[in-house]
Amino acid sequence: MKLICIGRNYTDHIKELENEKPTDPVVFLKPDTSILLRKQPFFIPDFSDDVHHEVEVLVKINKVGKHIDKKFAHKYYDEIGLGIDFTARDLQAQLKAKGLPWEKAKAFDGAAVIGEWLNKKNFEDLNNLNFSLKKNDELVQNGNTSLMLWKIDEIIEYVSKYFTLKIGDIIFTGTPAGVGKVIANDRLKGFIEDKQLFSITVK
């Protein structure tokens, strides 16, 4: 399985990082080795002094598809979830400045938190979901999927032009504003609406 991640999908996050608004979705991949194992803490890697949390709504693909039309995209997933795209912001800035790929800053071991999965039928409208991240019980990120530049089904249509989607693949749909540095002993809790989907400790 692969993790397909969408960058710059919320205008307020684009502004906070002073990035240019894209004309197409920004896509990058994480390997399965980047998944943080369940009930394990997140260890800040020794190559970064500025690792940021980025909370994101996730989609789990349930069947193989290629060149999926947006109107059929809803048939390719039954579950949504919540996770964190950990980013070594200092390393990412160095790589971006040189025009190099981001993977070392985004795809390192443990850089992908995947919480519990929920049946999408539990929600009236996937394009109007509230989600949030608390750090040490303080609200730090608060988003709604209505603010996505590209909605879930549009993302599936777009990425399936380039990558065959397979059962178990996971799409990270982008993060809202409020990203920030994590330090040792931070406790991160993620929510869709009022349901907690993960809780992790930083070491």
More confident: 69 or 1: 69
Residue 18: predicted pLDDT: 63
Of the candidates 115, 110, 106, 114, the one whose C-alpha atom is nearest the C-alpha of residue 34 is 110
pLDDT at 127 over 70: yes
pLDDT digits (tens, 9 = 90+) for 106-118: 999 999 999 999 9
Neighbours of 97 (CB within 10 A): 8
Beta-strand runs (E) in the chain: 3-7, 26-30, 51-53, 55-61, 77-85, 87-88, 112-119, 130-135, 138-144, 170-172, 180-181, 187-192, 195-201
Of the pLDDT bands very low, low, confident and very high (cuts 50, 70, 90), residue 13 is low
pLDDT at 22 over 80: no
76 has which bridge partners? none
pLDDT digits (tens, 9 = 90+) for 128-140: 999 999 999 999 9
Tokens linked to 1:
């399985």
Of the pLDDT bands very low, low, confident and very high (cuts 50, 70, 90), residue 11 is confident
Residue 37: predicted pLDDT: 95
Residue type, 74: H
Q: Are 95 and 69 in contact (CB under 8 A)?
A: no
pTM to 2 decimal places:
0.95
Residue 20: predicted pLDDT: 74
Residue 190: predicted pLDDT: 98
